[in-house]
Structure 1
Amino acid sequence: MEVIGGSKSFWLYSKARGYDLTHPPTPDSAPIYPRIPLETTTGQVTIDPSKAALVVIDLQNYFLSPLLGRPSKSVGFEIVDKLSEYAIPACRKAGIPIVWLGWGLSQQELDEMPPAIVKGFAADTNFEGPRKIGPLGSNIGPLEQEDGTVIEGGLVLMKDQWNSNFYPSLAEKAEPHDIWVYKNRLSGFWGGTGIEDKLKSRGIRTLLFSGANEDQCVAGSLQDAFTKGWDCLLLSDGTGTTSPEFARQAVEYNTAGGWGFLLTCKQLADGVNNMQVQHSASG
């Protein structure tokens, strides 16, 4: 086995077995079990479920809900379907927690927001219907649901507002041991979100990234996590973007080529179904 990395953080590699991302204490330590073999676009990768987390980024009401004029058929719902069918059940089966990483600003963070980010949100025109959604922090006002009940949309992407809640069909899948993180920039690994301490306190080394937009908040978070030393795997059909196709291709090219590894939600589920456990010797 070839050692890739330094003495404090390394992978093991062999042509026959691919990349071992289980992070044993030393290169010659006994293999860690249980372990999950995953097929990726660049070969097999093995991870330790006790050191892994699924990161779901920005699949919030603001970005998905038709109540705000978002398209009822969008790439966001395709992502939700793939996560719900494959990735989330697989993680629950393997004991892998979910990191729910989404926008949720405080008033101080809003006051300190760089103008370029404010401009970026102002350029979002992916809304249908007459309702106009204002800038960050503005009041959305009342919204009538399909059953006729009225809810308050809240302040745009501020903490603890309806619009900043994760989309209901995903939020209902949350469990107590999951990790919730509010972010204040495109990258969730920037700006004092506390995500690094939360991950390190659980011994998490490997992150499976999903969410939207793939070339913006997902890529920003993945790049920062990669730079700071986490193992990064991107679920190609568990993320997407409204940007042109070349933007998605660039992210996936760089992920597979350098930032980490690329696989599908079903490949994650298949890997969990083939999870390897240690068998005691007989006799």
Structure 2
Amino acid sequence: MQNAFASAGGMLDLAGVDVRPAAGAVANARLVVDAARDAGVPVIYLVMGYPPDQSTAGGEDSPNPRKELALRLMRERPELKGKLLTIGTWDFQILDALTPHQGELVITKPRYDGFVGTSLDAELRSRGIRTLLMAGIASNICVESTLRDAYFHEYWPVMIEDATMAAGSPEIQRATIYNVTTFFGWVSTAKEVAGALHAK
């Protein structure tokens, strides 16, 4: 989870999304990450961002610059140019509460979906990983996009519902949980997942 999605003054906050519920999602993600580390289960971070020249954002023939929120905000509000989801900025940084440990894989993704334009699939397969425990913000954007693609790549995705937060109303979170439960994977809680990891 990055400052962009969970911190006051971050990209989602600047876009008018209430990020106060992020604190609970972050605490629950930390519970799972700590349990995974204790159990020797790999922790992999996906961070969204672009280099300062936005060379991975997509060109004139790409819909991404027109729809992706950070790119739109920077275009609409010139004072934000180069400050949102730009590699090396505060907005791009992973939250202090979830700082990766040495040796943990951090993959920068240029799209909502963590499989697109990244080495994620190869990294997972090289480690023999088939089950994915997924936390993050926003559940209805990056988490759901990556989770759906994980399902299509023949992984077993599990959304940790209370370690995620939607960009939008509680109804949107419920819709994402419904989509995952019904069509694309499984849903659990941080307490259940941490308990299973501790029992491993």
Q: In the alignment, is residue 189 of structure 1 matched against residue 105 of structure 2?
A: no
1:92 counterpart residue number: 37
Contact 1:219 1:251 in 2 (8 A): yes
Contact 1:104 1:164 in 2 (8 A): yes
- After superposition, the Cα gap between the structure-2 partners of 1:73 and 1:216, relative to the gap in structure 1 and judged at 3 Å, is closer
Structure with max Cα Rg: 1
Q: Taking structure 1 as the reference length, what is the TM-score of the superposition?
A: 0.61
- After superposition, the Cα gap between the structure-2 partners of 1:75 and 1:121, relative to the gap in structure 1 and judged at 3 Å, is same
The 2-side partners of 1:68 and 1:248 are apart by 20
Q: 2:8 aligns with which of 62, 66, 75?
A: 66
The 1-side partners of 2:70 and 2:197 are apart by 41
Q: 2:173 aligns with which of 245, 248, 252?
A: 248
Q: In the alignment, is residue 156 of structure 1 matched against residue 84 of structure 2?
A: yes
Q: 2:55 aligns with which of 92, 108, 111?
A: 108
Contact 1:75 1:242 in 2 (8 A): no
The 2-side partners of 1:94 and 1:229 are apart by 24
Q: What whole-Å deviation, never above 9, does each CA across 1:123-173 have from its counterpart, x for those lacking one? A: 98xxxxxxxx6349x6648xxxxxxxxxxxx532122332211111212xx
- Structure 1's unaligned 5+ residue stretches are 1-58, 125-132, 142-153, 276-283
Aligned partner of residue 246 in structure 1, secondary structure: helix
1:169 counterpart residue number: 97
**Once the 2 structures are TM-superposed, how far is the Cα of residue 118 of structure 1 from its aligned partner?**
3.2
The structure whose residues are more often helix, as a share, is 2
- Structure 2's unaligned 5+ residue stretches are none
- After superposition, the Cα gap between the structure-2 partners of 1:156 and 1:93, relative to the gap in structure 1 and judged at 3 Å, is same
Q: Alignment RMSD, CA only?
A: 2.8
Q: How does 1:124-139 map to 2 (within 5 A)?
A: 134-135=74-75
Q: Taking structure 2 as the reference length, what is the TM-score of the superposition?
A: 0.83
How many positions carry a matched residue from both structures?
A: 193
The structure whose residues are more often strand, as a share, is 1
1:39 counterpart residue number: none
Q: What whole-Å deviation, never above 9, does each CA across 1:227-271 have from its counterpart, x for those lacking one? A: 011111110101111322332222212222231211100001111
Is the deviation greater in 90-99 or in 239-248?
239-248
The 2-side partners of 1:208 and 1:68 are apart by 25
**Identical pairs, percent:** 26
Aligned partner of residue 262 in structure 1, secondary structure: strand
